[in-house]
Structure 1
Amino acid sequence: MQRRHDIDALRVIAFGLLILYHAGMVYVADWDFHVKSTYQVEWLQWPMIALNRWRMPLLFMISGIALGLAGIEARRLRFAAARSWRLLLPLLFGMLVVVPPQTFFQIAQQYGYTGSFPHFYPLYLTHGLCRDGQCLTTPTWNHLWYLAYLWPYTLLLLALVPVLKRVQAWLQHPAHSAVASWLLAVVPVAWMASVLLWLMPHFPETHALLGDWTVHAESLPLFLLGYVLATNAIFWNWIVRWRWRTLLVALLAISLELGLRWLGRHPPTGPMPDWASHVPWSAVERISRASYTWMALLALFGWARILLDRPFRWLPYCSEAVFPWYILHQTLIVVLAFWLAPLQLGPWLEPLLVLSGTVAGCVLLHELLIRRIAWLRPLFGLKARKPVSFTASAHRELHDV
């Protein structure tokens, strides 16, 4: 099977944007995060909303596509065991080693905790941490929730392979191409809109796995759909042809959502027209959000197929580095932001140092330790293999997350 460089590159870019997004969480006003800077700005909400709408849906869909490209159908049990090891070991290691500093500095800033890390760590392992009736559940996975969700999703997909293959065959049949194209354009938007309109108000996002129905209702179908569409040439040709139209619709949809949010905060001073007072604007905003999410995904995949499907020299190395960087980055952000805050470096220098320090820390830890020490590799989702070879036969191994 031909190597899909565009999917590899999109995966690297998506995780790179995840680092940028989590660094922004330190500085965006009115949004909770583990550690906050004194240099918070409200305008940062707008680009972060635009990014947030598709960043995790893109990763879940890419993970499904990766399984569709990997040819797992004839080795489902063996793949389930290997994938469980590759996901659960880093998740457990992250919860016990990588994530605790985030909680330590969070309670130091938000709860006024003055104890040492050796005093804190047994509390993290055995007790919830509470203040004023609000408690942090520990141990926790924080930003590693994606791994906790991807594991049961993968097992479910493996169980549903016979059904998904039939759906795949129907969508790939030339006689169904026109109908399939319209279904793929409309049904995901309708589904996401229904989730936002009726499910999200009752089940807000928690990232706690159990009971997180809104996230499951959005992420699991995209994961399964990625698997179904991975090898569908009709779909990939269609999104390439429609890439300008999907991009335009996505821009219009996010402009409408952000515009309605702006008007909600800054309502016009004059009286509203009669017709406007009867429009359910909250529903319009959520339908716009659903439209933007799906059209942005289609546009991203379409443009990536044109611009990124080539063997970039940096791609093999970055594809391997993605998993360790993902595990490390948020802890580095939290630690650096906490340490730099008392220095009062200013609203430009401090975030620049947080972001550059995070990238530098990921580079050094991955390059000097993780990829070179055999027993560390599986703890960060890498196979404990000898010299890293990025031949065409290694294509499956690059889709680890």
Structure 2
Amino acid sequence: MTRRHDLDALRVLAILSLIAYHCGMLYVAEWDWHIKSSYLQEWLQWPMLTMNRWRMALLFLISGLAIGLYQPARAPGRFALSRTWRLFLPLVFGMLVIVPVQAYAQGVVNGGVEPGYGRFLLRYWQLQPWPDGRFDGAEYGITWNHLWYLAYLWVYSLLLVALLPLLESGAGRRLQAAMGGLRGVWLVAVPVLPLVLYVNLLMPRFEASNDLLNDWFQHAQFFTVFLYGYLLARQGPFWEELARLRRPLGWAAAVMIAVYVPLLKFDVAFSDPMLVAVRSLRALLVWTTLLAILAWARHALDRPFRWLPYASEAVFPWYVIHQSATVLIAYWLVPMRLGGALESTLVVGGTLAACALGHECVRRIPLLRPLFGLKPARQENIPGMFSSSLKTYLVCFHWGRRRKRSR
């Protein structure tokens, strides 16, 4: 697999932006979430709306690009098993162990769950439906909350495996070459057409729900950009053209955001033709922003930063841990009325600390690594897990003996 430092770095930045977004959900006014602070801010709606339309599409696009570079057609069966191990196992573990604290906190705050986490967990593990409204997903008896991305990505990966004979056929390779050969405005105009159809035909009928079986608008959008990533990953001319267009793409994305977000914020009533235009602008904004992000990442981030290997490994555990940490910390802090500045600082700092500590624990314990999406530690690295502490002990022991002798 070709190593693309820009995509690795972009994945790290995307997860950090996701953590910032979910911390913001605690404080943004008029938006519902699992738990809310007393210090709500209306101004947060502006940056949150700016991110909202493209943030998850970016993660699916990066995933498609990574798979395209991996070239799963060389061993599709092994790839399918690997994706199931790396995605489905952490999903199930997260739903049973990591996510329940969010449901508990939400249920207690709503008054539908009695305090006592152990008792709640025993009831939750029965996988029986709860009365509606106690927490998100209560009607199913179990919830995946922010881990829905893993479920979707796992399904998309298996669907891609089923499509590999078509994608790697002569016609499929011609399609890849045609997409990689797009230049100038066509780089935006051609791939965006399906997205325009989705927002006008599917979005009015299928509200975004993160429900795997009924989320057809999001499936259409996310699987399409995921597939685009696979098709474009190894197209060298595409990346050269993208780097060349980074400035116009950046300006175009900024202008579209500056037009689109105020239309949402001020709740303008639109006629039917205008509504089609606004929805089409949304699709155009999503694809243009994704291209601009890829272009600038290619230009600025495609280098072997010293922090990148460690941060790349940390992405999956941080993703699994972060929202549960945010909700739990907020559950403890919100009743204290510490003030908006102190509370938000503690929530963000506590979330980052929990993610960092969790990752450090997970990466050192072989049994936990697959449960948080990490590959097994390489055999030659296993002794290295203990070498640092052993060296420290030997140095201290030697220093202590020398001091005794000197006395």
TM-score, L = length of structure 1: 0.88
Asked if 1:357 corresponds to 2:360, the answer is no
1:62-86: CA deviation from partner (whole Å, max 9, x where unpaired): 1111111112211110111111111
* Counterpart for residue 169 of structure 1: 173
Is 2:181–2:238's contact at 8 Å kept on the other side of the alignment? no
Which letter does structure 2 place at the counterpart of 1:48? M
* Counterpart for residue 76 of structure 1: 76
Distance 1:91 1:323 in 2: 11
Asked if 1:314 corresponds to 2:293, the answer is no
Is 2:176–2:231's contact at 8 Å kept on the other side of the alignment? no
Asked if 1:214 corresponds to 2:217, the answer is yes
Q: With CA pairs under 8 Å and 6+ residues apart, which has the higher RCO, 1 or 2?
A: 1
Distance 1:14 1:90 in 2: 19
Asked if 1:152 corresponds to 2:148, the answer is no
CA drift of 1:145 comes to 0.4
Higher Cα Rg: structure 1 or 2? 2
Is 1:66–1:230's contact at 8 Å kept on the other side of the alignment? yes
CA drift of 1:308 comes to 0.1
Distance 2:153 2:279 in 1: 26
CA drift of 1:171 comes to 4.9
* Counterpart for residue 107 of structure 2: 107
Which letter does structure 1 place at the counterpart of 2:76? R
- 2:131 aligns to what SS in structure 1? strand
* Counterpart for residue 196 of structure 1: 199
Which letter does structure 1 place at the counterpart of 2:73? E
* Counterpart for residue 391 of structure 2: none
* Counterpart for residue 286 of structure 2: 293
CA drift of 1:304 comes to 0.6
- Cα distance, 1:178–1:65 mapped onto 2, change above 3 Å: closer
Distance 1:264 1:99 in 2: 34
Is 1:325–1:366's contact at 8 Å kept on the other side of the alignment? yes
- Cα distance, 1:316–1:104 mapped onto 2, change above 3 Å: same
2:338 to 345, 349, 362: 345
- Cα distance, 1:5–1:36 mapped onto 2, change above 3 Å: same
CA drift of 1:137 comes to 2.7
* Counterpart for residue 282 of structure 1: 275
* Counterpart for residue 384 of structure 1: 376
- Cα distance, 1:336–1:217 mapped onto 2, change above 3 Å: same
1:303-360: CA deviation from partner (whole Å, max 9, x where unpaired): 1111000000010000001000000000000000110011111111111110110000
* Counterpart for residue 257 of structure 1: 260
- Cα distance, 1:132–1:106 mapped onto 2, change above 3 Å: closer
Distance 1:282 1:362 in 2: 41
Distance 1:55 1:238 in 2: 23
* Counterpart for residue 12 of structure 2: 12
1:327 to 309, 315, 320: 320
Distance 2:288 2:86 in 1: 32
Which letter does structure 2 place at the counterpart of 1:322? V
TM-score, L = length of structure 2: 0.87
Q: Which runs of 5+ in 1 are unaligned?
A: 268-276, 390-401
Distance 1:388 1:139 in 2: 40
Distance 2:154 2:93 in 1: 15
Which letter does structure 1 place at the counterpart of 2:364? R
* Counterpart for residue 129 of structure 1: 130
Distance 1:285 1:2 in 2: 39
- Cα distance, 1:232–1:145 mapped onto 2, change above 3 Å: same
Which letter does structure 1 place at the counterpart of 2:164? V
- Cα distance, 1:172–1:190 mapped onto 2, change above 3 Å: closer
Is 1:260–1:281's contact at 8 Å kept on the other side of the alignment? no
* Counterpart for residue 394 of structure 1: none
1:102-152: CA deviation from partner (whole Å, max 9, x where unpaired): 000001112353231122123323332225799543211110001101111
1:136-169: CA deviation from partner (whole Å, max 9, x where unpaired): 4321111000110111111111121232234663
- Cα distance, 1:374–1:196 mapped onto 2, change above 3 Å: same
Of the structure 1 ranges 280-289 and 87-96, higher mean CA displacement relative to structure 2 is found in 280-289
* Counterpart for residue 118 of structure 2: 118
* Counterpart for residue 388 of structure 2: none
Distance 2:278 2:311 in 1: 37
Is 2:90–2:371's contact at 8 Å kept on the other side of the alignment? yes
Aligned length: 377
Asked if 1:140 corresponds to 2:143, the answer is yes
Distance 1:361 1:42 in 2: 28
Which letter does structure 1 place at the counterpart of 2:93? F
